[in-house]
Amino acid sequence: MSGATCTGQRPKAPSTMFQFITLRILKGALTFLAAITVTFLIVRLMPGDPTTAFISDSMSPQDVAALNTLLGLDRSLFEQYVLFIRNLAHLEMGQSFFFKEPVGAIIVPRLGWTLLLIGTSLFITLLIGIPLGVYTARHKGQWVDQTVSTLIVLGISIFIPLLAFLLVYLFSLTLGWTPVGGAMTPGIDDSEKLADIARHMILPTITLVIVNLAQIVLYTRTSMLDVLKEDYIRTARAKGVSDQGVTWGHALRNAMIPTVTVTGLMLGKLVAGAVLTETVFSWPGLGSMIYEAVQKQDFPLLQGAFIVLAFSVILMTLVTDLVVAWLDPRIKLHGGTTQ
Amino acid sequence: MRERSFVQSFAQHSLGRIGLAGIVVMLLFGIVGPLLVPYPSGYNDATPLALPSAQNWLGTDALGLNLFDQIVWGARTSLFISVTAVLVASGIGIPLGLVSGFLGGRMGGLIDSVIEIAMTIPTLPLMILISAIAGPSVSTVAVVIGVFSWPTLARIVRNSTLKLASLPYIEAAVILGIPRRTIMFKHILINAAGPALVDLTIIMATAVLTEAGLSYLGLGDPNAWSWGGILQTAFKGGQHFHAWWLIVFPSLAIMFFVISFNLLGLGINETLNPKRE
């Protein structure tokens, strides 16, 4: 890129960045609209009586009448859709069959536990995976290549319940180092609460880190190998920048772009992993709630869980997109149209 | 010097060969096995929750049923589900990828946005919702998994198509007046088949993992043996910590299946894109 075009475009940077962020937020909103529309249609157009998904035999006639007004089950599909969106805007997602409470009130406290687990796992995965990816990129060769590709195949092949059971069996039942499940010891003193939660989090977090680590290592490694071939790296070396300085100072920032992008794409998988992991460890998040809801055939709760998880994932994807934009100066300058 | 054929190059790849061998074993288990092994049903005279022994190779479950028989019949279910899922995913993903990449323009961009939206939405909670409402059945689960597996395939076919569409032989085909459908499904698809094939092996593997996960959560078909279903029964009955065989053997079967297909994918991928220094 010549100096003239650079100075010519720099003053425009704030507006293109603003444009970029607006576009990404719109895209996120559109994705969420698509997700909830799909849910709406699936539940209504499934063979059989759609009311079975919202009304259980155990409800009183008053409850049924109230739900009918709320969801408009006797009206046209379009009117139902408008009502559905309007209800959702008020966080109204129907009544749980089993708990006989509004779905939103059950989900919100549990969402916190799931996000805590997912957030911690993701943080630790990146903390271990990025340096490991850099390390394997700097020590490439037949042996490292083979080991990395084999480990990645094993990583994507893990069946989460097996890994979780093995961890509980080893660390909780045999060695007695960690609690078997749950998130807190009942009746624990407030001063020890955080340490207690941390101890309960160890095994579920390890499970999710092991499952997701391979992909982060792979992407960091591949993009690091690409970046290290670039001219500006050769220039930095020629200037006499140390090997460490080139790796961590010059190359890593650009090598991070695909890693952050793949982190965004991994979020859905991370949620799926959390659902299975929470079940084994009785972690009180949305995952174990989904398990209970399946056993109890509690459809409104399952629908609410999907909507809330979809919203969280779309929001987190938006954040990773913005991190990519921050890392990638081409997006800052050109609003995402690379060249 | 003659160029080596794909099969010859693949045969050089040891991990790919292991994967292929694993798949052959799995096919024998799933197709021939149920002809030799009786369908486990009802109660059995054998001791419930018996340890693996010469009589019951992999032990028995809480009903005294032989675990080995259950795993053999589970292989059939897993094969059925993964093959169905791959067919459904190909039926949606390949045409969308071809059309999006070949036509380009507004239509192509629109399809690409749909692919991106479908890739962002977390699918497991949605599959759980659909399977719960539809009721447990092997074919429902298979179709549901297939319906949610197409986006990566579509993206891969689209990217290959974009590259191929600008090549001279495709331009020549357009000028010759060959119908666009023929160009897409014959001339382009055959050359985009490699990367698509790699993704199909991954879809096979993921489908089995997803089915096992769904059955483990209690969404499996109670009338069909499935590896995840064995786990769910043990977990629900609270036998998962003392009757370790009920957890370990079905899980190993799942991972054997999944690793075999992922290794095959790795082998095909490295045969198509050899690492040259």
Q: Which tens digits make up the pLDDT trace of A80-100?
A: 888 888 888 888 787 787 887
DSSP B239: -
Least confident of A58-62, B175-179, B184-188: A58-62
- Mark yes or no for CB contact B205/A157 under 8 Å: yes
* Distance, C-alpha A228 to centroid of its chain: 30
Do the chains contact at A294 and B219, CB–CB below 8 Å?
A: yes
Nearest-10 Cα torsion for B209, B211, B215, B217: 60
**Residue-level pLDDT at A274:** 92
pTM for this predicted structure: 0.85
Do B129 and A309 lie within an 8 Å CB cutoff? no
The nearest alpha carbon in chain B to A167 belongs to B241
B-facing residues of A in 127-156 (CB < 8 A) are 145, 149-150, 153-154, 156
Name chain A contacts of B15, Cβ cutoff 8 Å.
149-150, 153
What would the pLDDT profile of B54-81 be if each residue is shown by its tens digit?
A: 777 677 777 778 888 888 888 899 899 9
Rounded distance, CA B233 to CA B241, Å? 13
Q: What is the pLDDT of residues B230-275, one digit of tens each?
A: 888 888 877 777 788 888 899 999 999 999 998 898 888 888 877 5
A282 near B CB under 8 A: no
What gap in Å lies between CA B27 and CA B79, rounded to an integer?
8
Q: Which helix (H) or strand (E) holds B161?
A: helix B150-165
Contacts of B248 in chain A (CB under 8 A): 162
pLDDT in tens, A7-57: 444 444 556 778 888 888 998 999 999 999 988 888 777 766 666 677 777
Of A31, A158, A276, nearest to B117 by CB-CB distance is A31
Q: What HEC string does chain A produce? A: CCHHHHHHHHHHHHHHHHHHHHHHHHHHHHHHHHHHHHHHHHHHHCCCCHHHHCCCCCCCHHHHHHHHHHHCCCCCHHHHHHHHHHHHHCCCCCECCCCCCEHHHHHHHHHHHHHHHHHHHHHHHHHHHHHHHHHHHHCCCHHHHHHHHHHHHHHHHCCHHHHHHHHHHHHHHHCCCCCCCCCCCCCCCHHHHHHHHHHHHHHHHHHHHHHHHHHHHHHHHHHHHHHCCCHHHHHHHHCCCCHHHHHHHHHHHHHHHHHHHHHHHHHHHHHHHHHHHHHHHCCCCHHHHHHHHHHCCCHHHHHHHHHHHHHHHHHHHHHHHHHHHHHCHHHHHHCCCCC
CA distances from B119 to A156, B84, B238, B242 (A): 18, 20, 36, 40
Q: Taking CB atoms and an 8 Å cutoff, what residues of chain A touch B240?
A: 165
Taking chain B, what is the end-to-end CA distance rounded to the nearest angstrom?
20
Cβ neighbours of B121 in A, within 8 Å: 31, 34-35, 38, 268, 310, 313-314
In contact, A283 and B136? CB cutoff 8 Å: no
Tokens of B16: 């790919």
A167 CB-near residues (< 8 Å, 6+ apart): A203, A206, A207
pLDDT digits (tens, 9 = 90+) for A104-157: 889 988 999 999 999 999 999 999 998 888 888 887 776 777 787 788 888 888
Task: Flag if B218 and A31 touch (Cβ within 8 Å).
Answer: no
Residue B132 with chain A: CB contacts under 8 Å = 293-294, 297, 299, 302
**Contact across the interface for A313 and B231, Cβ inside 8 Å:** no
Token couple for A166: 């093995």
Do B193 and B98 form a contact (C-beta atoms < 8 A)? Answer: no
Chain A nearest CA to B187, separation (Å): 30
Round to the nearest angstrom and report the end-to-end CA distance of chain A: 9
Interface of B with A (CB under 8 A): 15, 116-117, 119-126, 128-130, 132-134, 202, 205, 209, 212-213, 216-219, 231, 235, 240-241, 244, 247-248, 251-252, 254-255, 258-259, 262-263, 266, 270, 275
Q: What is the pLDDT of residues B89-141, one digit of tens each?
A: 999 999 999 998 888 788 888 898 899 888 888 989 999 988 888 888 888 89
> How far apart are alpha carbons A317 and A329 in whole angstroms?
19
The strand pairing partners of A95, in sequence order, are A102
- Helices A61-71 and A77-89: angle between axes, nearest 10 degrees: 100
pLDDT tens, A210-266?
988 888 888 888 888 888 888 888 888 888 888 778 777 778 877 788 888 888 888
In percent, the amount of chain B with pLDDT more than 90 equals 23
Q: How sure is the predictor about A206, in pLDDT bands with cuts at 50, 70 and 90?
A: very high
Whole-angstrom distance, CA of residue B41 vs CA of residue B24:
27
Q: How far apart are CA A72 and CA B223, in angstroms?
A: 36
Instruction: Say whether the ipTM exceeds 0.90.
Output: no
* Cβ–Cβ under 8 Å, residues A279 and A165: no
Residues B162-176 have pLDDT tens digits of 888 888 888 888 888
* Buried-exposed string A203-216: b where 16+ CB fall within 10 A, e elsewhere: bbbbbbbbbbbbbb
